Amino acid sequence: MRYFPIFFDLQDRKVIVVGGGEEALRKVRLLLKTTAKIAIIAPALHDELKANKRVEWLSTKFAGYLLEGAALVYSAEPELNERVSKEAQARGIPVNAVDAADISTFIVPSIVDRDPVVIAIGTEGTAPVLGQGIRAKIDAMLPQKLGALASRAASLRSHVADVVPHGNRRRSFWQKFFFGEVRDAFYQDDKKAFASSFKAAIAEDGAAPLGRVSLVGAGPGDPELLTLKAQRKLQEADVIVYDRLVSAGVLEMARRDAVRIPVGKTPYAPSPKQSEINEILVREAKAGRVVVRLKGGDPYIFGRGGEEQFALEQAGIAVDVVPGITAALGCAASARLPLTQRGQNRSITLLTGHSETGVADQDWAALAKPGNVFAIYMGVNAAGDISARLLDSGIAPDTRVTVIENGTLPDERVISTTIGGLWDALQTSGVAGPALIYVGLPTAKASADVMPFPVRQDIQDAILRAAS
Ligand SMILES: C[S@@+](CC[C@H](N)C(=O)[O-])C[C@H]1O[C@@H](n2cnc3c(N)ncnc32)[C@H](O)[C@@H]1O
C-alpha cells in the first residue's frame, strides 16, 4: 500500500484551490461537504463559485506566498500544476494536482457519503473505473438514513455509557442499535417502536452477562465463500477460536482487536485434544465474551461441531450455528465438476476415509457398486487401503477418481486418475495440503427435457368429463 487512507479534520481549516474553472468547481463541490474554509486563487471565476457565499475568491494571479496557512491545496489549473505543487511542498502543505498524481502528495478517493458515515474507496490511481463501480455498489447497499442513525447514536452515546457497562455489553447494545430492531424502527420513522426497542435493548444489556459461542463454518478457504452471517459474527467476536484449515483470508475478516486462539489439529503431530478445545470455549464464554468457534467448511460435517455444541449446552452456554460451504461442495464448484447429473447419478455420499485406527470403517462393498458417487474427506493417507478395499469389493479399476487439493484457494490442484491408479497418482503428485477424493463423479452434459411431473391420466380424464 503506497497511499495510506486517513480522514483529515478540516473543521475551520483553510483549503486553497488554485484555478477558477470547471475542474475547480468539481473540487469545491466536494469540499463544500466539509466544514473547511474554502479559498480560490484565480484571475477569473466560474459563475456557480462566484455565487457561493462559503467560497472566498482571491482574484489574482497565483503566487506561492498566498498558500501560507492552508491545510490542503488543490491545483485545478493544469498549467500551474508544477508551480503550485512545488510551492505547497516547500511549505509542507499536502497538495493534489488534478490529473497529475506524480506531483501530488495526496490523492482523493471515491466517496460514499452518509455523513457522518463516510466510506472512501481508493485504487491508488490504478483503476478509477473499478473504484467508481465499487462506490456505486456500496452506495446502493447502504440506506440513505444511515448517517442520521449514526448521528442519533452520537446524541445517545453518553446516556448509554451511563446505563450499559463498558465492554461486551455495550458492544452488544450498539449491535442491536445499528443492526436490529432499533435500527428498523428508526428507518421506518416509527418513533414509538424506536423508543420501546431502545428501552428493551438497554434493559437487556444493562443486566445479564453475555458470553455466548457461535459455531461458524468458514468454508473451504476462499474468503468470498463465507456467508454474510459468518462475516457478521466475525465482526462481533471478542475471541476467535480457529482450526488449522481456516485460511488467512478468512481470518482477515475478523475484528482487528479480537483475540485469536489457534486450536488446529495437525494429523500425526501433537495437537490440542477435543476436551481442551471444549474447555477453552466454555472458559471464554463464561468470562462474558462473544466467542466465534471458526471451523473449516461446515461445523456439522466432519467438524466435531456436535461435540462442541453438546459441551457448551451442558455448561449452560448459549450456542448458535452458522453453516458453511463444506469442502465437497466448494471444491467441486471451484473445479466446475457437477456432483449429480440427470441420467448418471441420483445421490452423492460424503464420507471420511480416516478413523483413529487408520482406514475408516465404511461399507466399502456397498460403495463399490456401479454408479455410486462419493466424496472422501481425510482420505489421502488411507487412499491405498481404500482403493484396495473398493477393488476387492468389485469396483471397476477404471472408475473415475478426481482429487482436489487446496480447493478454492490460489494453489488449488485437480488430479484426475482412476481407482486403480489412485495411490500412484497421489505419490507422484505429492499431495500435501487438505484434499478431497471424489469417486465416480458424473460428467457435465446436456440431457433431454423431461416433464418433472407428468399429468396423471385419471386426472386428465376427470377434466375432460367435467368439460363435456
Ligand atoms: C476435519 S475435515 C473438516 C471438513 C470441514 N468441516 C468441511 O465441512 O469441509 C478436513 C478435511 O476436509 C477436506 N478439506 C477441507 N478443506 C479443503 C480444501 N480446501 N480442499 C480440499 N479438501 C479440503 C480434506 O479432506 C480435509 O482432510
pLDDT digits (tens, 9 = 90+) for 361-387: 999 999 999 999 999 999 999 999 999
3 residue type, one letter: Y
For the chain, the structural domain boundaries read: 14-108, 146-205, 212-325, 329-439
Query: What one-character-per-residue DSSP string does 138-161 give?
Result: HHHHS-TTHHHHHHHHHHHHHHHH
The CA distance from 13 to 73, in Å, is 11
Q: What share of the chain is helix, strand, coil (3-state, %, to 5)?
A: 40, 20, 40
Pairing of strands 37-41, 55-58: parallel
327 residue type, one letter: A
Assess whether 176 carries a catalytic annotation: no
User: Measured on CA atoms in the order 420, 423, 429, 434, is the torsion positive or negative?
Assistant: positive
pLDDT band at 25 (very low <50, low <70, confident <90, very high): very high
CA of 50 to the centre of ligand 1 (A): 65
Q: Please report which helix (H) or strand (E) contains residue 426, including its range.
A: helix 422-429
CA of 440 to the centre of ligand 1 (A): 19
Q: Which of 243, 298, 363, 398 is catalytic?
A: 243
CA of 296 to the centre of ligand 1 (A): 7
Is-contact 422 457, C-beta < 8 A? no
Mean pLDDT estimate for the chain: 92
Residue nearest ligand 1's atom 16 by CA: 220
H, E, C per residue of 45-71: CCHHHHCCCCEEEECCCCCHHHHCCEE
Q: What is the pLDDT of residue 454?
A: 63
For the chain, the residue count is: 468
The CA distance from 230 to 238, in Å, is 14
Query: Which DSSP state fits 252?
Result: T
3-class DSSP assignment, residue 40: strand
Note the helical H segments in 75-114: 81-90
Atom of ligand 1 nearest to the CA of 409: 19
pLDDT digits (tens, 9 = 90+) for 379-432: 999 999 999 999 999 999 999 999 999 999 999 999 999 999 999 999 999 999
Pick the CATH number of 14-108 from 3.40.630.30, 1.10.357.10, 3.40.50.720, 2.60.40.420: 3.40.50.720
Q: Is 407 in the pocket of ligand 1 (CB under 6 A)?
A: yes
Q: Which three cell numbers stand for residue 276?
A: 481442551
Is 3.40.50.2300 the CATH number for 329-439?
no
* Percentage of the chain lying above the pLDDT 70 cut: 97
Pick the CATH number of 212-325 from 3.40.1010.10, 3.40.50.2300, 2.40.50.140, 3.40.190.10: 3.40.1010.10
Is-contact 444 336, C-beta < 8 A? yes
Q: What is the pLDDT of residue 455?
A: 66
Please, what's the largest Cα pairwise distance for the chain?
A: 99
CA of 36 to the centre of ligand 1 (A): 54
Q: Which three cell numbers stand for residue 270?
A: 501433537
The CA distance from 419 to 247, in Å, is 30
Q: What is the pLDDT of residue 204?
A: 84
Q: What is the pLDDT of residue 450?
A: 65
User: Measured on CA atoms in the order 20, 26, 29, 30, is the torsion positive or negative?
Assistant: negative
- When pLDDT is averaged across residues 229-247 and rounded to a whole number, the result is 94
- When pLDDT is averaged across residues 30-36 and rounded to a whole number, the result is 94
The CA distance from 417 to 442, in Å, is 14
pLDDT digits (tens, 9 = 90+) for 431-453: 999 999 999 999 988 877 766 66
Assess whether 458 carries a catalytic annotation: no
- When pLDDT is averaged across residues 315-325 and rounded to a whole number, the result is 95
Q: Which three cell numbers stand for residue 296?
A: 473449516
For the cut 90, the answer to whether the pLDDT of residue 458 exceeds it is no
The residues, ordered by sequence, that sit 6+ positions from 145 with a Cβ below 8 Å of its Cβ are 186, 187
pLDDT band at 81 (very low <50, low <70, confident <90, very high): very high
Q: Please report which helix (H) or strand (E) contains residue 172, including its range.
A: helix 168-179
CA of 297 to the centre of ligand 1 (A): 6
Residue nearest ligand 1's atom 10 by CA: 378
For the cut 90, the answer to whether the pLDDT of residue 256 exceeds it is no
Pick the CATH number of 146-205 from 2.30.130.60, 1.10.8.210, 3.30.2270.10, 3.40.50.150: 1.10.8.210
Q: Is 214 in the pocket of ligand 1 (CB under 6 A)?
A: no
- When pLDDT is averaged across residues 81-101 and rounded to a whole number, the result is 95
- When pLDDT is averaged across residues 450-465 and rounded to a whole number, the result is 75
**What is the number of other CB atoms lying within 10 angstroms of the CB of residue 363?**
10
Residue 294, class by beta-carbon neighbours within 10 Å (0-12 exposed, 13-18 middle, 19+ buried)?
Answer: buried
pLDDT digits (tens, 9 = 90+) for 203-215: 888 765 658 999 9
pLDDT digits (tens, 9 = 90+) for 103-115: 999 998 989 999 9
Q: What is the pLDDT of residue 353?
A: 96
What own/partner pairs with CB < 8 Å and gap ≥ 24 does 199-203 have? 201/173, 201/176, 201/177, 202/160, 202/163, 202/164, 202/173
Residue 51, class by beta-carbon neighbours within 10 Å (0-12 exposed, 13-18 middle, 19+ buried)?
Answer: exposed
Residue nearest ligand 1's atom 2 by CA: 302
Q: Which three cell numbers stand for residue 129?
A: 473505473
pLDDT digits (tens, 9 = 90+) for 149-198: 999 999 999 999 888 877 777 888 999 999 999 999 999 999 999 999 99
Task: Compute φ and ψ for 433, nearest 5 degrees.
Answer: -85, 180
Q: Which of 113, 145, 229, 265 is catalytic?
A: 265
For the cut 60, the answer to whether the pLDDT of residue 54 exceeds it is yes
